Structure 1
Amino acid sequence: MSVHSASAHASFHAIEWRQQSLHLLDQRVLPHEHRVLEYTTAAEVADAIRAMVVRGAPAIGIAAAYGYALDALAGRDLQQAYHVLAESRPTAVNLFWALERMAALNSADAHTLVAEARKIHEEDIAANLAMGEFGASVLPENAVIYTHCNTGALATGGHGTALGIIRSGYAEGKVTQVYAGETRPWLQGARLTAWELMQDQIPVSLVCDGAAAQLFRQGNVDWVIVGADRITANGDVANKIGTYSLAVLAKHHGVKVMVAAPTTTFDLTLASGDDIPIEQRPQEEVTSLFGHPIAPQGCHAINPSFDVTPAGLIDVIATEKGLIMQPDRDSVALLLAR
């Protein structure tokens, strides 16, 4: 398959609504097992979000919308559905945006709520495709990209944010190589991003997180492209832990940094990244690897799931509405006012 004939679309679905239930591709067992789980209640969907069956800010929002609709189908208390889903993860703002949008309909009609959840899903895919085109437009020919965590069709409604830009750039013949950081402790880069890119025959090499500096030093990377879980009014970005260090490395080595996120990821109620709640996950995710201890028994560990990258380290934020160059309070406000 030639680069120019490559499809920009992902070859699989991570979130599907079928026969009045939600079907999620279990991301905990990829890449070695392809397992789809079925959900019929909001509480089950909340557990799936918390347990990382589904992950990635846009995908979490879509799953939560469907979870809310599931409880409407069964005639359950929708206030309780909202509450249980809102508590599943604290940092990804898309979760709360999707739930607010569902609740704002002020309806218990299941047909109406299922239709709205489907609309949220479809809009996310359309946003990703637009974002992919905007982001790819600034890439040079023969671009070499470094990406972190997983921001593809697994993390969104389909296509992806950062990985969507890479997909679009590859389909246009502009991307020649992708480096995927492994992304400890959940290894989303190793298990998910490498798998996604290989599914679509996009050249990818896996990189230990600690090897990024040496790779940048050798002059082998043009752009770092990452996603986001929340972006504040001044352009500060919360994303998977390890993003901040990549941005600092990129600045030192003259590598450009692009953040890809739909406008639903912006939280203008927060002035700066200092105000973003950072999820702290269990120590065991650091001290063990898939249930096998890798640290001495009783060893303490810290496990922040996200870090904050200041706007000053970011060259461009790509959204479905266009590009924010050199993001700051004014440029963010200008684009979101469109």
Structure 2
Amino acid sequence: MTTRQQQSAVLALQWTGHSLRVLDQRQLPDTINYDEYTDAQGVAQAIASMRVRGAPAIGIAAAYGVVLSVNQHYSKSNSSWQQQVQTDITTLANSRPTAVNLFWALTQMKSVLDGQSDDPLPTILACAKKIHADDIAANYKMGELGADVLANATGILTHCNTGALATGGYGTALGVIRTVYARNPIKIYAGETRPWLQGQRLTVWELAQDEIPVTLIADSAAAWLMKSGAIDWVVVGADRIALNGDVANKIGTYSLAVLAKQHDVKVMVVAPTSTIDGAIENGDQIEIEQRQQSELLPDCYTDNTYVSAWNPVFDVTPAGLISAIVTERGVAFNPGVNGVVGLIEA
């Protein structure tokens, strides 16, 4: 069994009691720098700029952003504080479009606010802290459930970063990998994950902090790695899951799932049930975030009218290519047949 002593030393978010400290993940692994925010606008900018990233971590950060907004605007003499807080909630909601955990967390916070007539700060802070604590508890549960499924695995490939940096702590897919490794050390591979290199900069660094060996590969080496027989599972996270089991995740996940099918490698998706969007029937309805061309193009092409870039940061993997979706409420095997409705009804 995984113990709390095995929790990652990495902390993406730190609540100080009056501010939110955010580890600037754009500077990792070269520089460990925490930015401190005292208002919701700053937290929204931290999310939009990818200082904080990963669906669960984005939701947690947004929840604390609402706390900061209430702290800033509420007073008995300010009759418009609720309107000001709602404006901040809208700003937070507009920070990034694909990760459903963001909207889920804001809905939880707004529901608590709507029921408050007295000083709302203690109750709203308690809600944010619960969202944070529940995410960590869910990570541990998913780690155990996923590790049970991977009991006979010999090699795992993961994509992007799904660890403590992307969650409240421990991780979703990386939490499963941590738990598997604690039970029986196996070979772990991480794809570099272009264009932001979350695998190269974040996953490799995070596992190294916990003294877990990992081998980095170029994204384009994944097919050859699978053909070599070195891995039997691809284990990834998710930013949004449709009711039929289609999964939106970091760009390149769909490619890995297609390659996995060709090479008889299984695919596991690990995410809390807050990532399941009960309003979306299938992946075609998921909004895919498009980021700036400048994140791909070298500076010399900035003003070149003949060169442009297409920069979606997520793709959608059809449920039929996924072997198992692991949540804190259980595992959905063969979601292409069974979907995930049973998980949110559990």
TMscore range, shorter length? over 0.9
Give the corresponding residue for 1:226.
Answer: 236
Say if 2:326 and 2:332, in contact at 8 Å, map to a contact too: yes
d(CA) in 2 for partners of 1:6, 1:71: 32
Say if 1:6 and 1:171, in contact at 8 Å, map to a contact too: no
For residue 259 of structure 2, give the secondary structure of its aligned residue in structure 1: helix
Higher helix share: 2
Give the corresponding residue for 2:157.
Answer: 146
The one of 319, 337, 342 aligned to 1:334: 342
1:297-333 Cα deviation digits (max 9, x unpaired):
4520000010000000000000001110001474412
Q: Does 1:276 align with 2:286?
A: yes
TM-score of the aligned structures, taking structure 1 as reference length? 0.94
Give the corresponding residue for 1:59.
Answer: 57
Q: Which moved more, 1:270-279 or 1:135-144?
A: 135-144
Give the corresponding residue for 1:115.
Answer: 126
Structure 2 counterparts to residues 263-302 of structure 1, below 5 A: 263-288=273-298, 297-298=304-305, 299-302=307-310
- Distance change (3 Å), C-alpha of 1:208 and 1:297: farther
The one of 241, 244, 258 aligned to 1:248: 258
For residue 287 of structure 1, give the secondary structure of its aligned residue in structure 2: coil
Q: Does 1:185 align with 2:195?
A: yes
Give the corresponding residue for 1:101.
Answer: 108
Give the corresponding residue for 1:311.
Answer: 319
- Distance change (3 Å), C-alpha of 1:336 and 1:212: same
Say if 2:273 and 2:343, in contact at 8 Å, map to a contact too: no
For residue 145 of structure 1, give the secondary structure of its aligned residue in structure 2: strand
d(CA) in 2 for partners of 1:249, 1:129: 29
d(CA) in 2 for partners of 1:112, 1:315: 40
d(CA) in 2 for partners of 1:121, 1:134: 20
Instruction: State the 1:335 CA deviation.
Output: 2.2
Give the corresponding residue for 1:136.
Answer: 147
Say if 2:21 and 2:34, in contact at 8 Å, map to a contact too: yes
Give the corresponding residue for 1:238.
Answer: 248
Higher strand share: 1
Q: Does 1:216 align with 2:226?
A: yes
d(CA) in 1 for partners of 2:221, 2:29: 23
For residue 296 of structure 2, give the secondary structure of its aligned residue in structure 1: helix
Say if 2:236 and 2:269, in contact at 8 Å, map to a contact too: yes
Say if 1:5 and 1:171, in contact at 8 Å, map to a contact too: no
1:22-43 Cα deviation digits (max 9, x unpaired):
0111101000101011000100
d(CA) in 2 for partners of 1:293, 1:167: 42
1:204-249 Cα deviation digits (max 9, x unpaired):
0111101101101111111100000000010000000000000000
Question: Any stretches of 5+ residues in structure 1 without a counterpart?
Answer: none
d(CA) in 2 for partners of 1:103, 1:145: 40
Q: Does 1:8 align with 2:6?
A: yes
- Aligned letter for 2:85? L
Instruction: State the 1:201 CA deviation.
Output: 1.1
1:115-152 Cα deviation digits (max 9, x unpaired):
11011000000000000000000113462110000000
Instruction: State the 1:112 CA deviation.
Output: 1.1
Give the corresponding residue for 2:68.
Answer: 70
- Aligned letter for 1:167? R
Structure 2 counterparts to residues 161-180 of structure 1, below 5 A: 161-173=172-184, 175-180=185-190
Q: Which moved more, 1:194-203 or 1:88-97?
A: 194-203
Say if 1:6 and 1:170, in contact at 8 Å, map to a contact too: no
- Give the greater-gyration-radius structure (CA): 2
- Distance change (3 Å), C-alpha of 1:142 and 1:328: closer
Say if 1:58 and 1:124, in contact at 8 Å, map to a contact too: yes
Say if 1:9 and 1:167, in contact at 8 Å, map to a contact too: no
- Distance change (3 Å), C-alpha of 1:8 and 1:256: farther
Give the corresponding residue for 2:99.
Answer: 92
1:60-82 Cα deviation digits (max 9, x unpaired):
00000000110101125111111
d(CA) in 2 for partners of 1:30, 1:45: 19
d(CA) in 1 for partners of 2:159, 2:5: 22
Instruction: State the 1:110 CA deviation.
Output: 1.2
For residue 146 of structure 1, give the secondary structure of its aligned residue in structure 2: strand
The one of 137, 142, 160 aligned to 1:126: 137
Say if 2:245 and 2:282, in contact at 8 Å, map to a contact too: yes
For residue 186 of structure 2, give the secondary structure of its aligned residue in structure 1: strand
d(CA) in 2 for partners of 1:8, 1:166: 12
Say if 1:176 and 1:203, in contact at 8 Å, map to a contact too: no
